[in-house]
Structure 1
Amino acid sequence: MSTTVSTPASHAESANKRYFFDKFGLTERLLERCLGEALSAGGDYADLYFESIASTSIGVDESLVKSASQGVSAGCGIRVISGERTGYAYTDDLSSERLLRAARTASLIANGPTKELVTGFNANESQRPSLYPIPAADSDASLAAKLSLVMRADKAARAFDARIVQVRASYSDELRRILIAASDGTFASDTQPLARLNVFVIAKDGARNSKGTSGGGGRVELDFFEDTKSPEHFANEAARQAILQLNAVAAPAGEMEVVLGPGWPGVLLHEAVGHGLEADFNRKKTSAFAGLIGQSVASSKVTVVDNGTMPSRRGSLNVDDEGAATQETVLIENGVLKGYLSDKLSARLMGIASTGSGRRESYQHIPMPRMTNTYMLNGEDVPEDIIRSVKRGLYAVNFGGGQVDITSGKFVFSASEAYLIEDGKITAPVRDATLIGNGPEALKYVSMVGNDLALDEGIGTCGKDGQSVPVGVGMPTIKLDRMTVGGTGN
């Protein structure tokens, strides 16, 4: 049985493959042998996921460099699927002996006759232009430039107000190279940059303390952190939040109208609705959205998409971690549930198309359906009119942590920046506000959707089953006619 590459890839894609072949001594024959071993006990499908990461991290606390690291790592994860069962093994030694041993270990999940491979790999990456630049290799000069960004953020935050008493700033980036070969002929690769700058501050005024945080980034090069997305921009934003909270009043409690601001508040949409639309939860009937395709699950004003094809966005990918091209997937359209986010396993078992949503944290983890950039589309309402329509309510601009029960859809979110709305006007900032509700139910109370769609600054990290991946969120200003607010005020 011979395996050949049947379709020429682009120059960049070919360079990605050559990286693994040249640096680690891989050959097409070795990939074929590993897949053969993986399917030697039967099984329906097998794949190899090679990964190499070069990373940098710098942290500054109290104007002193408290941490700085650079590292490289590489490994391969080998998966075998047999029915609904998955066998998985990984190794950080990419020698042929260790790869073949990992393949045999993964094969133990299966029980049946040897599975024949599809003849020939397909170089099936999308031929569209890459969604992100590939930075040049790091140098001492670029490391110094990264440290300069962090120190600038520290200085700007301290200069914002004398009540800023503590500042922590950090910068991290990575360049991830991946190569995927699978028994269905998939043969894909990608080089994925990722960078993030973050600022955290504490303000103090007498006995009262408050905090603020800001940051941003994406699949970008270092020059992204200049101009409007400069360290000073993020530092000033974190400091502004902290100073604002010093004089905030206690949040009211009870059911009321709630307005969510544009951008990062889309994290509530991501958690309360997005996870419930991932295919594995629906295949296992553990999602509140299971079996509801074609039914109304939200207000007719609500359309939600997941889009992995947005240039330079934190959640974007040229190909997912199973080698499939990412896409824009409409999840909810005018309130009607249209579909789920699926990987290869869920697509096969559910009889649906894969949406290029198979993602994993690293070669040590199995892929599963995950979001990329998830957001609500624009409506027709003017944001100022949305505020004016509220007699008494809450305007939530920024969110901190939250918890969601996928099965029931119930959620609790803390608002890190929120204001009272009184007689159609934004008034006092509030502290300790929480939003409590049910994801599918909450969307039915959306009565107004603004025309000011914004995406987050590039800070999102999503956790699921112990795995973390970078994501993006967003929404326009929206009004919910009913939502329970938790607080200690009147």
Structure 2
Amino acid sequence: MDISSAYFKSLAKDAVFDLEKDFPYASVLALETAGERLTVQTRQEQAELIDPARGVVATVFTGRHFLEAATGEVTEEGLRNLVRDLREMGRQTGIYYDGPAIDPGPPLEKDFGITVERDPWQVPLKQKVADLTVLRDGIQSRDHRIVQIVCQYAQVRSRELFVNRSKTLFQDLCRVQMAAVTVMREGDRSVSLHTGRAQQGGYEKAFIPEEKVDKMVRDCAKLLKAPRLRPGTYDCIFSPDFAGLFAHEAFGHGMETDMFLKKRAKGEEYLGRPVASPLVDLYDSPALPGQAASFFFDHEGELAKETRVIEKGILKRGLTDLYSATLLKLPRTANGRRESFERKVYARMTNTYFGPGGHTPEEMVASIPEGFFLDHPSNGMEDPKGWGIQLEGYYAEAIQDGKLTGEVFSPVIVTGYVPDLLMSITMVGDTVEISGLGMCGKGHKEWVKVTDGGPYLKLRARLG
């Protein structure tokens, strides 16, 4: 049964109506996901389907707790079974009408979709393989020391229906992604870097800009002779990609308010207080047009909107799901997300990024007598409870007397206390760039699409 059809929508509304005969609040969410992945390597080609998922989850509030039941049967009988199961669960746990009231939001019935110029499902497999082959061969031609190339293309389509007593919302989302990994060898040393692009939209959005491919190959070659850097505290410039990793790790899980409930987030203690330089603004927004982690509403029916996490250095608010917002009496943000209908909803990041400032990268470099420019991040981790952070990357280029020297060190590790790093920011670039290649895991390694980014940042950091 088509979850976007008027008939299925009416069945979902009936299920909500029946559940609210017993419970103070109910909702129904139907999800469909399908996709494919192609890989072209130096000596191998592969095509595979991304495991499709299709099902329905119904949620009720008992006045004390949220209960859920899910099914892979997207049928009238499947919905009836969910209603039956939740009623039985409610009888066992108890149903109360003296608890907090759940606001279903203003009445709205709307179907949302994104503009697709070239439907990726209509592009022949042969054409996609040919385009990846052109990318691979173009990379290979750039440097004779390249020994391995992996080029990958993926497309994902998500169709989602949310219904409660006030809202009937449907969204049809299409995401495309292309990535390339290059391995170089000289003597007994091998190094690798990657680049790519992920966007919402059609096949026309998938292609990696030539300047990004050029930069990957050029910087990878520099790593072949890169020594280890001398540990110490330095003036640094973070590239937009490195700034994005910083944003994700510093104010990702630590500002997801279900972590507040578990008393696992230091950020809760700093709400309304300075945590960063007054130059710093930080956002999470699923409403950014075209970004890979954007959507029109979250999995709890909250319409997408921007959340300003930090404003002029002040920690303003966290990222909520319905459960944490209800218990903590916080305003809702559009961050209630699931990996699939079979998984629970959490407060999750979407597009997380530092806002722009007023400086150019050239001005930042010129202001540093001795320091490093950091680029090509690899991974990071944080301790939300202690607010310690570690960021890792492949590329640190020395700055001497206000100029980039061309001398590159690798790898590079940034460690520190989140507020100390944020307070040390003295210059913020004037242009925001967002990368869409990432995924984020939470709970039992339940993955959702995220992006992160920002402008160039000048700060002081401990490097190793």
Which residue of 413, 416, 419 corresponds with 1:440?
419
1:290 to 248, 254, 268: 268
Report the alpha carbon displacement of residue 56 of structure 1 after superposing the two structures with TM: 1.4
Which deviates further from its counterpart, 357-366 or 385-394? 385-394
Change (3 A) 1:91 1:264: farther
Q: What number of residue pairs does the alignment pair up?
A: 457
Q: Describe the SS at the equivalent of 1:322.
A: coil
Give the one of 129, 132, 138 matched to 1:150.
Answer: 132
* 1:176-187 pair list within 5 angstroms: 176-182=158-164, 184-187=165-168
1:219 aligned residue (200, 204, 208) = 200
Tell me which of 234, 242, 246 is aligned to 2:224. 246
The residue number in structure 2 matching 1:203 is 184
Q: Distance in 2 between matches of 1:442 and 1:369?
A: 25
Q: Partners in 2 of 1:242 and 1:274 — Cα distance? A: 29
Return the alpha-carbon distance in structure 2 between the equivalents of residues 264 and 474 of structure 1: 8
The Cα shift of 1:190 comes to: 0.3
The reply to whether residue 168 of structure 1 matches residue 150 of structure 2 is yes
1:138 and 2:121 correspond: yes
Q: Which residue of 1 aligns with 2:298?
A: 320
Could you say which residue in structure 2 is the equivalent of 1:54?
34
Moved more, 326-335 or 99-108: 99-108
Q: What is the alpha-carbon distance in structure 2 between the residues aligned to residue 213 and residue 84 of structure 1?
A: 48
Q: How does 1:10-409 map to 2 (within 5 A)?
A: 19-20=2-3, 22=5, 26=8, 28=10, 30-35=11-16, 43-69=23-49, 72-82=52-62, 85-107=65-87, 110=90, 111-113=93-95, 124=108, 132-133=115-116, 136=119, 138-139=121-122, 141-182=123-164, 184-226=165-207, 229-230=208-209, 235-409=213-387
Change (3 A) 1:109 1:334: farther
Unaligned regions of 5+ residues in structure 2, if any? none
How far did 1:300 drift?
0.9
SS of the residue aligned with 2:339? Answer: coil
Q: Is the 8 A contact 1:397 1:415 kept in 2?
A: yes
Superposed CA offset, 1:344-399 (max 9, x none): 22222222221222111121222222222111112223322222222322211220
- Following superposition of structure 1 onto structure 2, how do residues 444-483 of structure 1 map, counting pairs within 5 Å? 444-456=423-435, 458-465=436-443, 466-481=445-460, 483=461
Match of 1:429 in 2: 408
Contact 2:163/2:169 (8 A) holds in 1: yes
CA distance in 2, matches of 1:365, 1:107: 20
1:212-270 per-position Cα deviation (integer Å, ceiling 9, x unaligned): 111112102111235xx34x555444333322210212122122222211245312111
Distance 1:20 1:419 in 2: 52
Runs of 5+ in structure 1 lacking a partner? 1-17
Greater Cα offset, 74-83 or 251-260:
74-83
Relative to 1, partners in 2 of residues 1:241 and 1:46: Cα closer, same or farther, differing over 3 Å? farther
Provide the residue aligned with 1:14 in structure 2: none
1:287-341 alpha-carbon deviations (Å, 9 max, x no partner): 1111422211111111111222211111211111212211111111111111122
Letter of the aligned partner of 2:108 in structure 1?
N
194-203 vs 279-288, which moves further: 279-288
User: Residue type matched to 2:129 in 1?
Assistant: L
Task: Give the aligned residue type for 2:8.
Answer: L
Equivalent residues of 2:395, 2:411 under 8 A apart: no
8 Å Cα contact 1:287/1:406 also seen in 2: yes
How high is the TM-score relative to the length of structure 1?
A: 0.85
CA distance in 1, matches of 2:4, 2:308: 38
Alignment RMSD (CA, Å): 2.9
* Distance in 2 of aligned mates of 1:305 and 1:126: 26
Return the alpha-carbon distance in structure 2 between the equivalents of residues 354 and 212 of structure 1. Answer: 39
Query: How has the CA–CA distance of structure 1 residues 107 and 468 changed in structure 2, closer, same or farther, with 3 Å as cutoff?
Result: farther
CA 1:383 to 1:21, structure 2 compared with 1: closer, same or farther past 3 Å? closer
1:292·1:337 contact (CA, 8 Å) conserved in 2? yes
With the length of structure 2 as denominator, give the TM-score of the two structures: 0.89
Deviations 1:8-36 (A, max 9, x none): xxxxxxxxxx941549x6352x3245336
Structure 1 position 38, deviation (Å):
5.1
Identical amino acids, percent of aligned pairs: 24
Please give the secondary structure, in 2, of the residue aligned with 1:446: coil
Deviation, structure 1 residue 453: 2.5
Contact residue 254 and residue 265 of structure 2 kept, 8 A: yes
- The answer on whether the counterparts of 1:213 and 1:241 sit within 8 Å (CA) in structure 2 is no
CA distance in 2, matches of 1:20, 1:379: 44
CA contact (8 A) 1:55 1:173 kept: yes
1:76 Cα shift?
1.2
Deviation for aligned residue 1:131? 5.5
Contact 1:131 1:318 in 2 (8 A): no
